[in-house]
Amino acid sequence: MLDSPQSVDELQEIRARIDAGLERFLPSPDRVPESLCRAMRYSLFPGGKRLRPLLTMAASRTLGGKESLAIPAACAIEMIHSYSLVHDDLPAMDNDDLRRGRPTSHRKFGEALAILSGDALLSLAFQILARHPEGESNGPLRLRVLQVIADAASAEGIIAGQVMDMETEGQPFTEQKLVEIHRHKTGVLINASVVSGAMAAGADETALGHIRAYGEAIGLAFQIVDDLLDVEGTTETLGKSTGKDARAAKATFPALLGLEASRRRAGRLVERARQAIRHLSPGTTLLDDIAGSILKRTH
Amino acid sequence: MLDSPQSVDELQEIRARIDAGLERFLPSPDRVPESLCRAMRYSLFPGGKRLRPLLTMAASRTLGGKESLAIPAACAIEMIHSYSLVHDDLPAMDNDDLRRGRPTSHRKFGEALAILSGDALLSLAFQILARHPEGESNGPLRLRVLQVIADAASAEGIIAGQVMDMETEGQPFTEQKLVEIHRHKTGVLINASVVSGAMAAGADETALGHIRAYGEAIGLAFQIVDDLLDVEGTTETLGKSTGKDARAAKATFPALLGLEASRRRAGRLVERARQAIRHLSPGTTLLDDIAGSILKRTH
Protein backbone atom coordinates (compact mmCIF):
# COMPACT_ATOMS: atom_id res chain seq x y z
CA MET A 1 0.00 0.00 0.00
CA LEU A 2 2.88 2.37 0.77
CA ASP A 3 5.99 3.23 -1.19
CA SER A 4 8.88 4.15 1.04
CA PRO A 5 10.58 1.02 2.40
CA GLN A 6 10.67 2.50 5.88
CA SER A 7 6.91 3.00 5.87
CA VAL A 8 6.36 -0.48 4.52
CA ASP A 9 8.28 -1.95 7.43
CA GLU A 10 6.60 0.26 9.97
CA LEU A 11 3.23 -0.58 8.52
CA GLN A 12 3.86 -4.31 8.55
CA GLU A 13 4.90 -4.10 12.16
CA ILE A 14 1.74 -2.18 13.11
CA ARG A 15 -0.46 -4.58 11.15
CA ALA A 16 1.01 -7.50 13.06
CA ARG A 17 0.21 -5.75 16.34
CA ILE A 18 -3.34 -5.05 15.23
CA ASP A 19 -3.79 -8.71 14.31
CA ALA A 20 -2.42 -9.74 17.69
CA GLY A 21 -4.82 -7.33 19.37
CA LEU A 22 -7.83 -8.66 17.43
CA GLU A 23 -6.80 -12.18 18.39
CA ARG A 24 -6.44 -11.23 22.04
CA PHE A 25 -9.81 -9.44 22.20
CA LEU A 26 -11.83 -12.26 20.63
CA PRO A 27 -13.82 -14.15 23.28
CA SER A 28 -12.42 -17.43 24.51
CA PRO A 29 -13.81 -20.22 22.26
CA ASP A 30 -15.16 -22.14 25.26
CA ARG A 31 -17.53 -19.26 26.06
CA VAL A 32 -19.04 -18.92 22.58
CA PRO A 33 -20.82 -21.44 20.31
CA GLU A 34 -18.23 -22.87 17.95
CA SER A 35 -20.08 -21.90 14.76
CA LEU A 36 -20.47 -18.30 15.93
CA CYS A 37 -16.82 -18.16 16.90
CA ARG A 38 -15.76 -19.37 13.45
CA ALA A 39 -18.00 -16.87 11.68
CA MET A 40 -16.61 -13.99 13.76
CA ARG A 41 -13.00 -15.00 13.03
CA TYR A 42 -13.75 -15.50 9.34
CA SER A 43 -14.66 -11.83 8.98
CA LEU A 44 -11.62 -10.59 10.88
CA PHE A 45 -8.85 -12.80 9.48
CA PRO A 46 -6.88 -12.62 7.28
CA GLY A 47 -8.42 -9.16 6.95
CA GLY A 48 -8.17 -6.53 4.28
CA LYS A 49 -6.08 -3.38 4.14
CA ARG A 50 -6.70 -2.67 7.84
CA LEU A 51 -6.89 0.99 6.80
CA ARG A 52 -8.97 2.13 9.80
CA PRO A 53 -6.91 0.58 12.60
CA LEU A 54 -3.73 1.63 10.81
CA LEU A 55 -5.03 5.19 10.84
CA THR A 56 -5.75 4.95 14.56
CA MET A 57 -2.25 3.72 15.30
CA ALA A 58 -0.69 6.21 12.88
CA ALA A 59 -2.54 9.14 14.46
CA SER A 60 -1.42 7.99 17.89
CA ARG A 61 2.22 7.66 16.78
CA THR A 62 2.13 10.99 15.02
CA LEU A 63 1.21 12.66 18.30
CA GLY A 64 3.67 10.63 20.35
CA GLY A 65 1.04 8.40 21.99
CA LYS A 66 1.62 5.06 23.67
CA GLU A 67 0.65 2.14 21.44
CA SER A 68 -1.10 0.22 24.21
CA LEU A 69 -3.57 3.08 24.68
CA ALA A 70 -4.56 3.14 21.00
CA ILE A 71 -4.78 -0.60 20.27
CA PRO A 72 -8.25 -1.10 21.84
CA ALA A 73 -9.81 1.64 19.70
CA ALA A 74 -8.00 0.35 16.60
CA CYS A 75 -9.33 -3.18 17.14
CA ALA A 76 -12.84 -2.07 18.07
CA ILE A 77 -13.07 0.02 14.90
CA GLU A 78 -11.87 -2.88 12.74
CA MET A 79 -14.57 -5.06 14.32
CA ILE A 80 -17.22 -2.46 13.57
CA HIS A 81 -15.95 -2.11 10.00
CA SER A 82 -16.04 -5.91 9.60
CA TYR A 83 -19.56 -6.23 11.00
CA SER A 84 -20.78 -3.51 8.64
CA LEU A 85 -19.35 -5.35 5.63
CA VAL A 86 -21.01 -8.61 6.71
CA HIS A 87 -24.42 -6.95 7.05
CA ASP A 88 -24.06 -4.80 3.91
CA ASP A 89 -23.14 -7.90 1.87
CA LEU A 90 -26.39 -9.69 2.86
CA PRO A 91 -28.89 -10.69 0.14
CA ALA A 92 -31.40 -8.13 1.44
CA MET A 93 -28.80 -5.37 0.93
CA ASP A 94 -25.92 -5.44 -1.57
CA ASN A 95 -26.27 -9.21 -2.15
CA ASP A 96 -22.56 -9.82 -2.65
CA ASP A 97 -21.03 -13.26 -3.04
CA LEU A 98 -17.41 -12.29 -2.82
CA ARG A 99 -15.38 -10.32 -0.27
CA ARG A 100 -11.60 -10.20 -0.01
CA GLY A 101 -11.39 -12.96 -2.60
CA ARG A 102 -13.50 -15.39 -0.54
CA PRO A 103 -17.22 -16.18 -0.22
CA THR A 104 -19.04 -13.55 1.83
CA SER A 105 -20.04 -14.58 5.36
CA HIS A 106 -23.62 -15.46 4.46
CA ARG A 107 -22.45 -17.56 1.50
CA LYS A 108 -20.09 -19.43 3.80
CA PHE A 109 -22.17 -19.74 7.01
CA GLY A 110 -25.75 -18.97 5.98
CA GLU A 111 -27.67 -15.79 6.56
CA ALA A 112 -28.63 -16.40 10.18
CA LEU A 113 -25.07 -16.88 11.37
CA ALA A 114 -23.85 -13.99 9.20
CA ILE A 115 -26.35 -11.62 10.80
CA LEU A 116 -25.59 -12.87 14.31
CA SER A 117 -21.82 -12.82 13.87
CA GLY A 118 -22.13 -9.22 12.67
CA ASP A 119 -24.17 -8.38 15.77
CA ALA A 120 -21.53 -10.12 17.86
CA LEU A 121 -18.64 -8.15 16.34
CA LEU A 122 -20.49 -4.89 16.99
CA SER A 123 -21.16 -5.85 20.62
CA LEU A 124 -17.58 -7.04 21.05
CA ALA A 125 -16.30 -3.63 19.97
CA PHE A 126 -18.14 -2.07 22.90
CA GLN A 127 -17.07 -4.79 25.31
CA ILE A 128 -13.48 -3.92 24.41
CA LEU A 129 -13.93 -0.17 24.66
CA ALA A 130 -15.67 -0.43 28.05
CA ARG A 131 -12.62 -2.19 29.56
CA HIS A 132 -9.55 -1.12 27.57
CA PRO A 133 -7.14 0.50 28.02
CA GLU A 134 -7.36 -0.85 31.57
CA GLY A 135 -6.90 1.10 34.75
CA GLU A 136 -8.99 3.63 36.59
CA SER A 137 -6.93 6.53 35.31
CA ASN A 138 -7.85 5.57 31.73
CA GLY A 139 -11.59 5.67 32.49
CA PRO A 140 -12.16 9.17 31.07
CA LEU A 141 -10.25 8.23 27.88
CA ARG A 142 -12.36 5.07 27.50
CA LEU A 143 -15.55 7.12 27.73
CA ARG A 144 -14.39 9.75 25.23
CA VAL A 145 -13.35 7.12 22.72
CA LEU A 146 -16.59 5.20 23.31
CA GLN A 147 -18.60 8.29 22.46
CA VAL A 148 -16.72 8.96 19.25
CA ILE A 149 -16.90 5.37 18.04
CA ALA A 150 -20.51 4.75 19.10
CA ASP A 151 -21.55 7.90 17.23
CA ALA A 152 -19.73 6.74 14.10
CA ALA A 153 -21.41 3.31 14.29
CA SER A 154 -24.85 4.78 14.84
CA ALA A 155 -27.99 5.71 12.91
CA GLU A 156 -26.36 9.14 12.53
CA GLY A 157 -23.19 7.51 11.19
CA ILE A 158 -22.44 4.50 8.99
CA ILE A 159 -25.97 3.10 9.24
CA ALA A 160 -27.38 6.35 7.86
CA GLY A 161 -24.81 6.03 5.07
CA GLN A 162 -25.95 2.55 4.11
CA VAL A 163 -29.61 3.59 4.15
CA MET A 164 -28.90 6.69 2.01
CA ASP A 165 -26.81 4.60 -0.36
CA MET A 166 -29.67 2.10 -0.85
CA GLU A 167 -32.33 4.75 -1.15
CA THR A 168 -30.43 6.78 -3.74
CA GLU A 169 -30.00 3.77 -6.06
CA GLY A 170 -31.46 4.61 -9.46
CA GLN A 171 -32.40 8.11 -8.28
CA PRO A 172 -31.00 11.41 -9.56
CA PHE A 173 -28.52 12.92 -7.08
CA THR A 174 -26.60 16.15 -6.58
CA GLU A 175 -22.96 16.48 -5.63
CA GLN A 176 -24.04 17.71 -2.21
CA LYS A 177 -26.12 14.57 -1.66
CA LEU A 178 -23.28 12.38 -2.87
CA VAL A 179 -20.80 13.95 -0.44
CA GLU A 180 -23.33 13.47 2.34
CA ILE A 181 -23.75 9.76 1.50
CA HIS A 182 -20.00 9.19 1.35
CA ARG A 183 -19.38 11.13 4.53
CA HIS A 184 -21.79 8.86 6.40
CA LYS A 185 -21.00 5.61 4.64
CA THR A 186 -17.22 5.78 4.96
CA GLY A 187 -16.15 9.15 6.28
CA VAL A 188 -17.44 9.00 9.85
CA LEU A 189 -15.70 5.75 10.74
CA ILE A 190 -12.43 6.80 9.08
CA ASN A 191 -12.67 10.04 11.01
CA ALA A 192 -13.37 8.17 14.25
CA SER A 193 -10.26 6.10 13.52
CA VAL A 194 -7.87 9.04 13.47
CA VAL A 195 -9.71 10.95 16.21
CA SER A 196 -9.69 8.03 18.65
CA GLY A 197 -5.99 7.49 17.95
CA ALA A 198 -5.33 11.16 18.61
CA MET A 199 -7.39 11.03 21.81
CA ALA A 200 -5.40 8.03 22.99
CA ALA A 201 -2.29 10.17 22.51
CA GLY A 202 -3.81 12.91 24.65
CA ALA A 203 -4.25 15.37 21.77
CA ASP A 204 -5.42 18.89 22.63
CA GLU A 205 -8.30 20.56 20.81
CA THR A 206 -6.03 22.20 18.22
CA ALA A 207 -4.37 18.93 17.29
CA LEU A 208 -7.77 17.20 17.21
CA GLY A 209 -9.00 19.86 14.81
CA HIS A 210 -6.12 19.17 12.40
CA ILE A 211 -6.65 15.43 12.74
CA ARG A 212 -10.36 15.80 12.02
CA ALA A 213 -9.68 17.85 8.88
CA TYR A 214 -7.23 15.16 7.77
CA GLY A 215 -9.76 12.39 8.47
CA GLU A 216 -12.54 14.14 6.63
CA ALA A 217 -10.42 14.68 3.54
CA ILE A 218 -8.95 11.22 3.28
CA GLY A 219 -12.32 9.63 4.11
CA LEU A 220 -13.86 11.19 1.03
CA ALA A 221 -10.76 10.56 -1.09
CA PHE A 222 -10.82 6.90 -0.09
CA GLN A 223 -14.45 6.50 -1.11
CA ILE A 224 -13.89 8.23 -4.47
CA VAL A 225 -11.01 5.85 -5.22
CA ASP A 226 -13.23 2.97 -4.11
CA ASP A 227 -15.81 4.03 -6.65
CA LEU A 228 -13.12 4.42 -9.33
CA LEU A 229 -11.86 0.90 -8.61
CA ASP A 230 -15.38 -0.46 -9.00
CA VAL A 231 -15.28 0.92 -12.56
CA GLU A 232 -11.65 0.30 -13.47
CA GLY A 233 -10.53 -2.58 -11.25
CA THR A 234 -10.89 -6.31 -11.77
CA THR A 235 -12.48 -8.89 -9.52
CA GLU A 236 -9.09 -10.59 -9.37
CA THR A 237 -7.17 -7.66 -7.89
CA LEU A 238 -10.06 -6.36 -5.78
CA GLY A 239 -11.25 -9.68 -4.36
CA LYS A 240 -14.84 -8.57 -4.82
CA SER A 241 -17.12 -8.19 -7.80
CA THR A 242 -16.77 -5.01 -9.86
CA GLY A 243 -19.07 -2.90 -11.99
CA LYS A 244 -21.74 -3.26 -9.27
CA ASP A 245 -22.24 0.46 -8.78
CA ALA A 246 -23.12 1.12 -12.40
CA ARG A 247 -25.41 -1.92 -12.55
CA ALA A 248 -27.21 -0.79 -9.41
CA ALA A 249 -27.18 2.83 -10.59
CA LYS A 250 -25.52 3.88 -7.33
CA ALA A 251 -24.64 7.46 -6.50
CA THR A 252 -20.89 7.72 -7.16
CA PHE A 253 -18.35 10.35 -8.21
CA PRO A 254 -17.48 8.58 -11.47
CA ALA A 255 -21.18 8.55 -12.38
CA LEU A 256 -21.48 12.26 -11.55
CA LEU A 257 -18.19 13.73 -12.77
CA GLY A 258 -16.60 11.01 -14.92
CA LEU A 259 -13.35 9.19 -14.23
CA GLU A 260 -10.84 11.94 -14.89
CA ALA A 261 -12.52 14.62 -12.81
CA SER A 262 -13.10 12.10 -10.00
CA ARG A 263 -9.40 11.25 -9.96
CA ARG A 264 -8.50 14.95 -9.80
CA ARG A 265 -10.96 15.46 -6.95
CA ALA A 266 -9.39 12.59 -4.98
CA GLY A 267 -5.96 14.09 -5.63
CA ARG A 268 -7.02 17.48 -4.28
CA LEU A 269 -8.53 15.88 -1.18
CA VAL A 270 -5.33 13.98 -0.44
CA GLU A 271 -3.42 17.24 -0.79
CA ARG A 272 -5.84 18.87 1.63
CA ALA A 273 -5.35 16.00 4.10
CA ARG A 274 -1.59 16.45 3.95
CA GLN A 275 -1.92 20.17 4.49
CA ALA A 276 -4.14 19.61 7.51
CA ILE A 277 -1.44 17.78 9.45
CA ARG A 278 1.46 19.93 8.25
CA HIS A 279 1.64 21.82 11.53
CA LEU A 280 1.68 18.80 13.80
CA SER A 281 5.14 17.75 14.96
CA PRO A 282 4.93 14.18 13.87
CA GLY A 283 6.83 11.34 15.47
CA THR A 284 6.37 9.57 12.13
CA THR A 285 5.42 10.33 8.52
CA LEU A 286 2.84 7.55 8.50
CA LEU A 287 -0.27 9.72 8.22
CA ASP A 288 1.26 11.53 5.27
CA ASP A 289 2.28 8.27 3.64
CA ILE A 290 -1.14 6.70 4.12
CA ALA A 291 -2.78 9.74 2.53
CA GLY A 292 -0.49 9.44 -0.48
CA SER A 293 -1.07 5.71 -0.79
CA ILE A 294 -4.80 6.15 -1.18
CA LEU A 295 -4.34 7.45 -4.72
CA LYS A 296 -2.24 4.41 -5.60
CA ARG A 297 -4.66 1.77 -4.36
CA THR A 298 -5.28 -1.17 -6.62
CA HIS A 299 -7.58 -2.97 -4.13
CA MET B 1 -49.23 -7.60 34.92
CA LEU B 2 -49.34 -6.95 38.68
CA ASP B 3 -52.11 -7.45 41.18
CA SER B 4 -51.91 -4.98 44.01
CA PRO B 5 -53.43 -1.63 43.00
CA GLN B 6 -50.49 0.22 44.52
CA SER B 7 -48.04 -1.72 42.38
CA VAL B 8 -50.17 -1.15 39.31
CA ASP B 9 -50.01 2.60 39.84
CA GLU B 10 -46.31 2.58 40.62
CA LEU B 11 -45.68 0.43 37.58
CA GLN B 12 -47.68 2.65 35.27
CA GLU B 13 -45.77 5.64 36.49
CA ILE B 14 -42.42 3.95 35.89
CA ARG B 15 -43.51 2.76 32.45
CA ALA B 16 -44.38 6.31 31.49
CA ARG B 17 -40.94 7.47 32.59
CA ILE B 18 -39.28 4.72 30.60
CA ASP B 19 -41.25 5.72 27.51
CA ALA B 20 -40.27 9.33 28.04
CA GLY B 21 -36.64 8.25 28.36
CA LEU B 22 -36.76 6.19 25.17
CA GLU B 23 -38.29 9.16 23.38
CA ARG B 24 -35.62 11.50 24.69
CA PHE B 25 -32.73 9.21 23.75
CA LEU B 26 -33.84 8.60 20.16
CA PRO B 27 -31.74 10.62 17.71
CA SER B 28 -33.19 13.82 16.36
CA PRO B 29 -35.13 12.98 13.15
CA ASP B 30 -33.19 15.57 11.17
CA ARG B 31 -29.96 13.63 11.78
CA VAL B 32 -31.24 10.23 10.63
CA PRO B 33 -32.84 9.06 7.34
CA GLU B 34 -36.59 9.20 7.80
CA SER B 35 -37.21 5.54 6.94
CA LEU B 36 -34.58 4.39 9.44
CA CYS B 37 -36.03 6.66 12.09
CA ARG B 38 -39.52 5.22 11.56
CA ALA B 39 -38.26 1.63 11.71
CA MET B 40 -36.40 2.32 14.97
CA ARG B 41 -39.47 3.90 16.57
CA TYR B 42 -41.74 1.11 15.33
CA SER B 43 -39.80 -1.45 17.35
CA LEU B 44 -39.77 0.68 20.51
CA PHE B 45 -43.33 2.02 20.60
CA PRO B 46 -45.91 1.19 21.85
CA GLY B 47 -43.65 -1.52 23.30
CA GLY B 48 -44.44 -4.71 25.12
CA LYS B 49 -44.34 -5.47 28.83
CA ARG B 50 -41.18 -3.40 29.31
CA LEU B 51 -40.14 -6.13 31.76
CA ARG B 52 -36.41 -5.45 31.52
CA PRO B 53 -36.41 -1.68 32.04
CA LEU B 54 -39.03 -2.11 34.78
CA LEU B 55 -36.65 -4.50 36.51
CA THR B 56 -33.83 -1.96 36.23
CA MET B 57 -35.97 0.77 37.76
CA ALA B 58 -37.40 -1.59 40.40
CA ALA B 59 -33.93 -2.75 41.45
CA SER B 60 -32.79 0.85 41.71
CA ARG B 61 -35.86 1.84 43.80
CA THR B 62 -35.48 -1.22 46.01
CA LEU B 63 -32.00 -0.07 46.95
CA GLY B 64 -32.98 3.57 47.33
CA GLY B 65 -31.33 4.74 44.11
CA LYS B 66 -32.02 7.95 42.20
CA GLU B 67 -34.24 7.38 39.20
CA SER B 68 -32.21 9.62 36.89
CA LEU B 69 -29.17 7.40 37.39
CA ALA B 70 -31.02 4.22 36.38
CA ILE B 71 -33.04 5.50 33.42
CA PRO B 72 -30.18 5.36 30.87
CA ALA B 73 -29.46 1.69 31.61
CA ALA B 74 -33.19 0.88 31.56
CA CYS B 75 -33.62 2.50 28.13
CA ALA B 76 -30.41 1.04 26.69
CA ILE B 77 -31.49 -2.46 27.74
CA GLU B 78 -34.93 -2.02 26.20
CA MET B 79 -33.25 -0.95 22.95
CA ILE B 80 -31.02 -4.01 23.00
CA HIS B 81 -34.01 -6.23 23.73
CA SER B 82 -35.93 -4.64 20.84
CA TYR B 83 -33.05 -5.01 18.40
CA SER B 84 -32.69 -8.69 19.33
CA LEU B 85 -36.39 -9.30 18.62
CA VAL B 86 -36.13 -7.59 15.22
CA HIS B 87 -33.14 -9.71 14.20
CA ASP B 88 -34.49 -12.96 15.68
CA ASP B 89 -37.79 -12.47 13.82
CA LEU B 90 -36.02 -12.28 10.41
CA PRO B 91 -36.81 -14.86 7.73
CA ALA B 92 -33.32 -16.35 8.06
CA MET B 93 -33.97 -16.96 11.75
CA ASP B 94 -37.37 -17.50 13.40
CA ASN B 95 -39.22 -16.14 10.34
CA ASP B 96 -42.04 -14.54 12.35
CA ASP B 97 -44.74 -12.38 10.78
CA LEU B 98 -46.29 -11.08 13.97
CA ARG B 99 -44.90 -9.32 17.03
CA ARG B 100 -46.92 -7.51 19.69
CA GLY B 101 -50.01 -7.90 17.51
CA ARG B 102 -48.45 -6.10 14.53
CA PRO B 103 -46.40 -7.12 11.51
CA THR B 104 -42.78 -7.77 12.41
CA SER B 105 -40.27 -5.10 11.37
CA HIS B 106 -39.14 -6.89 8.20
CA ARG B 107 -42.77 -7.46 7.16
CA LYS B 108 -43.43 -3.77 7.63
CA PHE B 109 -40.20 -2.19 6.31
CA GLY B 110 -38.46 -4.94 4.36
CA GLU B 111 -35.49 -6.99 5.46
CA ALA B 112 -32.77 -4.45 4.75
CA LEU B 113 -34.28 -1.76 6.91
CA ALA B 114 -35.18 -4.28 9.64
CA ILE B 115 -31.57 -5.43 9.85
CA LEU B 116 -30.23 -1.87 9.80
CA SER B 117 -32.72 -0.53 12.34
CA GLY B 118 -31.74 -3.40 14.66
CA ASP B 119 -28.08 -2.47 14.21
CA ALA B 120 -29.01 1.14 14.93
CA LEU B 121 -30.86 0.31 18.16
CA LEU B 122 -27.88 -1.71 19.37
CA SER B 123 -25.49 1.13 18.60
CA LEU B 124 -27.83 3.66 20.17
CA ALA B 125 -27.81 1.69 23.41
CA PHE B 126 -24.06 2.21 23.63
CA GLN B 127 -24.28 5.86 22.61
CA ILE B 128 -26.61 6.37 25.56
CA LEU B 129 -24.50 4.42 28.04
CA ALA B 130 -21.32 6.26 27.03
CA ARG B 131 -22.88 9.64 27.95
CA HIS B 132 -25.57 9.01 30.59
CA PRO B 133 -25.98 9.57 33.45
CA GLU B 134 -24.06 12.75 32.67
CA GLY B 135 -21.33 14.32 34.73
CA GLU B 136 -17.71 13.43 35.37
CA SER B 137 -18.51 11.93 38.77
CA ASN B 138 -20.79 9.38 37.08
CA GLY B 139 -18.02 8.23 34.71
CA PRO B 140 -17.07 5.13 36.75
CA LEU B 141 -20.75 4.13 37.00
CA ARG B 142 -21.18 4.51 33.24
CA LEU B 143 -18.23 2.22 32.62
CA ARG B 144 -19.40 -0.46 35.08
CA VAL B 145 -22.89 -0.47 33.59
CA LEU B 146 -21.45 -0.51 30.06
CA GLN B 147 -19.43 -3.61 30.87
CA VAL B 148 -22.41 -5.47 32.31
CA ILE B 149 -24.72 -4.60 29.42
CA ALA B 150 -22.13 -5.13 26.66
CA ASP B 151 -21.37 -8.58 28.07
CA ALA B 152 -25.08 -9.46 28.12
CA ALA B 153 -25.49 -8.31 24.50
CA SER B 154 -22.43 -10.19 23.31
CA ALA B 155 -21.46 -13.49 21.69
CA GLU B 156 -21.14 -14.80 25.24
CA GLY B 157 -24.64 -13.53 26.05
CA ILE B 158 -27.91 -13.27 24.12
CA ILE B 159 -26.27 -13.95 20.74
CA ALA B 160 -24.92 -17.26 22.05
CA GLY B 161 -28.45 -18.00 23.25
CA GLN B 162 -29.96 -17.41 19.84
CA VAL B 163 -27.31 -19.56 18.14
CA MET B 164 -27.77 -22.40 20.68
CA ASP B 165 -31.54 -22.14 20.29
CA MET B 166 -31.30 -22.49 16.50
CA GLU B 167 -28.74 -25.26 16.61
CA THR B 168 -30.69 -27.37 19.11
CA GLU B 169 -33.85 -27.33 16.95
CA GLY B 170 -34.89 -30.90 16.22
CA GLN B 171 -31.99 -32.25 18.28
CA PRO B 172 -32.21 -34.24 21.51
CA PHE B 173 -31.32 -32.10 24.54
CA THR B 174 -30.68 -32.52 28.25
CA GLU B 175 -32.05 -30.37 31.05
CA GLN B 176 -28.57 -28.96 31.58
CA LYS B 177 -28.36 -27.88 27.94
CA LEU B 178 -31.84 -26.38 28.11
CA VAL B 179 -30.99 -24.30 31.17
CA GLU B 180 -27.82 -23.15 29.40
CA ILE B 181 -29.80 -22.06 26.33
CA HIS B 182 -32.39 -20.20 28.41
CA ARG B 183 -29.76 -18.57 30.58
CA HIS B 184 -28.09 -17.12 27.50
CA LYS B 185 -31.18 -16.39 25.46
CA THR B 186 -33.12 -14.54 28.15
CA GLY B 187 -31.35 -14.83 31.49
CA VAL B 188 -28.27 -12.73 30.87
CA LEU B 189 -30.16 -9.62 29.74
CA ILE B 190 -32.73 -9.90 32.55
CA ASN B 191 -29.86 -10.27 34.96
CA ALA B 192 -28.10 -7.25 33.45
CA SER B 193 -31.35 -5.33 33.93
CA VAL B 194 -31.48 -5.79 37.70
CA VAL B 195 -27.71 -5.61 38.14
CA SER B 196 -27.38 -2.30 36.28
CA GLY B 197 -30.28 -0.88 38.30
CA ALA B 198 -28.59 -1.98 41.50
CA MET B 199 -25.28 -0.49 40.36
CA ALA B 200 -27.01 2.81 39.60
CA ALA B 201 -28.22 2.74 43.22
CA GLY B 202 -24.65 2.24 44.44
CA ALA B 203 -25.24 -1.35 45.65
CA ASP B 204 -22.39 -3.03 47.52
CA GLU B 205 -21.15 -6.52 46.62
CA THR B 206 -23.51 -8.23 49.08
CA ALA B 207 -26.58 -6.52 47.70
CA LEU B 208 -25.39 -7.20 44.15
CA GLY B 209 -25.09 -10.88 45.03
CA HIS B 210 -28.72 -11.00 46.18
CA ILE B 211 -29.84 -9.08 43.12
CA ARG B 212 -27.95 -11.45 40.83
CA ALA B 213 -29.56 -14.50 42.47
CA TYR B 214 -32.96 -12.84 42.02
CA GLY B 215 -32.25 -12.04 38.37
CA GLU B 216 -31.02 -15.52 37.59
CA ALA B 217 -34.12 -17.15 39.10
CA ILE B 218 -36.71 -14.88 37.50
CA GLY B 219 -34.87 -14.96 34.18
CA LEU B 220 -35.33 -18.71 33.96
CA ALA B 221 -38.88 -18.56 35.37
CA PHE B 222 -39.80 -15.97 32.74
CA GLN B 223 -38.51 -18.13 29.91
CA ILE B 224 -40.33 -21.23 31.20
CA VAL B 225 -43.59 -19.28 31.32
CA ASP B 226 -42.81 -17.98 27.82
CA ASP B 227 -42.52 -21.55 26.60
CA LEU B 228 -45.75 -22.49 28.41
CA LEU B 229 -47.57 -19.61 26.75
CA ASP B 230 -46.37 -20.77 23.34
CA VAL B 231 -48.19 -24.05 24.05
CA GLU B 232 -51.23 -22.78 25.95
CA GLY B 233 -51.70 -19.19 24.82
CA THR B 234 -53.49 -17.82 21.79
CA THR B 235 -52.19 -15.54 19.07
CA GLU B 236 -54.85 -13.06 20.12
CA THR B 237 -53.70 -12.61 23.70
CA LEU B 238 -49.98 -13.02 22.93
CA GLY B 239 -49.83 -10.82 19.85
CA LYS B 240 -47.51 -13.32 18.20
CA SER B 241 -47.98 -16.72 16.63
CA THR B 242 -48.14 -19.70 19.00
CA GLY B 243 -47.28 -23.39 18.77
CA LYS B 244 -44.05 -22.39 17.02
CA ASP B 245 -41.75 -24.17 19.46
CA ALA B 246 -43.37 -27.57 18.97
CA ARG B 247 -43.45 -27.11 15.18
CA ALA B 248 -39.79 -26.19 15.12
CA ALA B 249 -38.99 -28.89 17.69
CA LYS B 250 -37.32 -26.31 19.90
CA ALA B 251 -35.68 -27.15 23.20
CA THR B 252 -38.23 -26.08 25.84
CA PHE B 253 -39.26 -27.05 29.36
CA PRO B 254 -42.76 -28.16 28.31
CA ALA B 255 -41.17 -30.45 25.72
CA LEU B 256 -38.79 -31.88 28.31
CA LEU B 257 -40.91 -32.08 31.48
CA GLY B 258 -44.51 -31.57 30.35
CA LEU B 259 -46.77 -28.64 31.25
CA GLU B 260 -47.48 -29.42 34.88
CA ALA B 261 -43.91 -30.03 35.94
CA SER B 262 -42.78 -26.93 33.99
CA ARG B 263 -45.32 -24.80 35.86
CA ARG B 264 -44.10 -26.18 39.18
CA ARG B 265 -40.53 -25.45 38.20
CA ALA B 266 -41.40 -21.85 37.37
CA GLY B 267 -43.18 -21.55 40.71
CA ARG B 268 -40.14 -22.78 42.62
CA LEU B 269 -37.88 -20.35 40.74
CA VAL B 270 -40.10 -17.40 41.58
CA GLU B 271 -40.03 -18.48 45.22
CA ARG B 272 -36.24 -18.63 45.03
CA ALA B 273 -36.16 -15.13 43.52
CA ARG B 274 -38.29 -13.79 46.39
CA GLN B 275 -36.06 -15.45 48.94
CA ALA B 276 -32.97 -13.94 47.34
CA ILE B 277 -34.09 -10.37 48.00
CA ARG B 278 -35.65 -11.06 51.42
CA HIS B 279 -32.70 -9.56 53.26
CA LEU B 280 -32.55 -6.31 51.30
CA SER B 281 -34.31 -3.41 52.99
CA PRO B 282 -36.50 -2.44 50.12
CA GLY B 283 -37.81 1.01 49.46
CA THR B 284 -40.58 -0.72 47.50
CA THR B 285 -42.09 -4.19 47.05
CA LEU B 286 -41.82 -3.91 43.28
CA LEU B 287 -39.20 -6.62 42.74
CA ASP B 288 -41.28 -9.03 44.81
CA ASP B 289 -44.43 -8.10 42.92
CA ILE B 290 -42.77 -8.47 39.52
CA ALA B 291 -41.50 -11.92 40.48
CA GLY B 292 -45.04 -12.95 41.50
CA SER B 293 -46.57 -11.52 38.34
CA ILE B 294 -44.42 -13.69 36.12
CA LEU B 295 -46.49 -16.77 37.02
CA LYS B 296 -49.70 -14.94 36.11
CA ARG B 297 -48.60 -13.74 32.67
CA THR B 298 -51.06 -14.18 29.86
CA HIS B 299 -48.85 -12.45 27.30
Contact assignment for B150 to A139 by CB distance below 8 Å: no
ipTM over 0.90: yes
> Among A36, A140, A164, whose Cβ lies nearest the Cβ of B159?
A36
* pLDDT confidence of residue B233: 84
Q: Which of A115, A143, A153 sits opposite B92 (nearest CB)?
A: A115
Q: Could B167 and A35 be called an inter-chain contact, meaning their C-beta atoms sit closer than 8 Å?
A: yes
- Counted across chains A and B, CB pairs separated by less than 8 A come out at 147
Note whether A87 contacts B116, CB cutoff 8 Å: yes
* Chain A closest-CA separation from residue B219 CA (Å): 20
* C-alpha to C-alpha distances, B280 to A26, A188, B63, B283, B288, nearest whole angstrom: 37, 47, 8, 9, 11
pTM: 0.96
Q: Which residue in B126, B165, B167 has the most chain A C-beta atoms within 10 A of its own C-beta, making it the best mutation to test that interface?
A: B126
Q: Which domains does chain A have, with CATH numbers?
A: 5-294 (1.10.600.10)
Helix (H) or strand (E) holding B99: strand B98-99
Which residues lie closer than 8 Å to A175 by C-beta, 6 or more apart?
Answer: A256, A257
CA of A278 vs chain B CAs: smallest distance (Å): 32
Per-residue pLDDT of chain B (299 residues; tens, 9 = 90+): 455 656 788 899 999 999 999 999 999 999 999 999 999 999 999 988 999 999 999 999 999 999 999 999 999 999 999 999 999 999 999 999 999 999 999 999 999 999 999 999 999 999 999 999 999 999 999 999 999 999 999 999 999 999 999 999 999 999 999 999 999 999 999 999 999 999 999 999 999 999 999 999 999 999 999 999 999 987 877 788 888 888 888 999 999 999 999 999 999 999 999 999 998 877 778 999 999 999 988 77
| B40 chain-A contacts, CB cut-off 8 A | 155
Of A49-53, A210-214, B230-234, least confident by mean pLDDT is B230-234
A99: which strand partners? A102
Out of A31, A122, A142, the one facing B119 most closely (by C-beta) is A122
Instruction: Look at residue A237 in the predicted model and tell me its pLDDT.
Output: 78
A196 close to A56: Cβ distance less than 8 angstroms: yes
CB within 8 Å: B143 and A153 = no
pLDDT digits (tens, 9 = 90+) for A140-170: 999 999 999 999 999 999 999 999 999 999 9
Using an 8 Å CB-CB cutoff, list chain A residues near B31: 155-156, 160
Which long-range contacts link A203-211 to residues 24+ away (Cβ below 8 Å)? A203/A63, A207/A63, A207/A280, A210/A276, A210/A277, A210/A279, A210/A280, A211/A59, A211/A63, A211/A276, A211/A277, A211/A280
Q: Which of A27, A35, A142 sits opposite B143 (nearest CB)?
A: A142
- Is A122–B124 a contact, with Cβ atoms under 8 angstroms apart? no
